[in-house]
Amino acid sequence: MAGINKVILLGRLGKDPEVRNFQNGGKVVKFGLATSERYKDREGNQQERTEWHDVEIYNDRLGDVAEKYLKKGSEVYIEGQIETQSFTDKDGNERKTKRIVLRQFRGELQLVGGRASGGGDMGEERSYSGGGGERSSAPARAGAPRAGWDSGKKPDMDDDIPF
């Protein structure tokens, strides 16, 4: 049976990306990504839960974009895979950690929010895929207009929806 290992996250960087170069000329770009969820508890008080995700980019093109444009506080949309890494800690205990990995030809990185959110010198949203393609508009997201879309005009929403 085949399986799918795909993760989609939209969050903010907790600190500037860390870049490590390999002897063979490749590199890895690492950063922590925070995703937050707001909800009301049983008493009606507003609560927030934040999850931290370790992200590693092994794709040269996406790594270059992350290194150049991402910094602490940047909002970013990523698509990658979950991988488990096993290691032995300093006390000799076997440990495992999960991370989100963007590999060559697999993954997507989208800068969200432009300059105001720390997105570097980008004036509009840009999307980069592991296959080398670049798109100037974002994948369709609820509540976010696409680049070039006249926000003064509303799309025809009078479709008959069967649910």
Question: How confident is the model over 3-38, as pLDDT tens digits?
Answer: 999 999 999 999 999 999 999 988 999 999 999 999
Instruction: Please give the span between the terminal C-alpha atoms of the chain, in angstroms, as a whole number.
Output: 32
Please report the pLDDT score of residue 159 as a whole number: 57
Residue type, 83: E
Percent of the chain surpassing pLDDT 90: 63
19/104 Cα distance (integer angstroms): 16
Please report the pLDDT score of residue 36 as a whole number: 94
How is the chain split into domains, by residue range?
10-135
Q: Which residue has the higher pLDDT, 26 or 52?
A: 52
Q: Under a CB-based contact definition with an 8 Å cutoff, are residues 99 and 85 in contact?
A: yes
| 6 CB-near residues (< 8 Å, 6+ apart) | 79, 80, 81
Residue type, 5: N
34/76 Cα distance (integer angstroms): 10
- Overall average pLDDT of the 117-129 stretch: 53
9/101 Cα distance (integer angstroms): 12
Given the DSSP bridges, would you call strands 46-57 and 94-102 parallel, antiparallel or unpaired?
parallel
99/83 Cα distance (integer angstroms): 6
13: three-class secondary structure by DSSP:
strand
Residue type, 130: G
pTM above 0.85, yes or no: no
Please report the pLDDT score of residue 25 as a whole number: 85
Tens digit of each residue's pLDDT (9 = 90 or more) over 57-93: 999 999 999 999 999 999 999 999 999 999 999 999 9
Please report the pLDDT score of residue 114 as a whole number: 63
In CATH terms, 10-135 corresponds, of 3.40.50.1220, 1.20.1290.10, 3.10.450.50, 2.40.50.140, to 2.40.50.140
60/65 Cα distance (integer angstroms): 9
26: three-class secondary structure by DSSP:
coil
Phi, psi of 29 (to 5 degrees): -115, 125
| pLDDT higher than 50, residue 145 | no
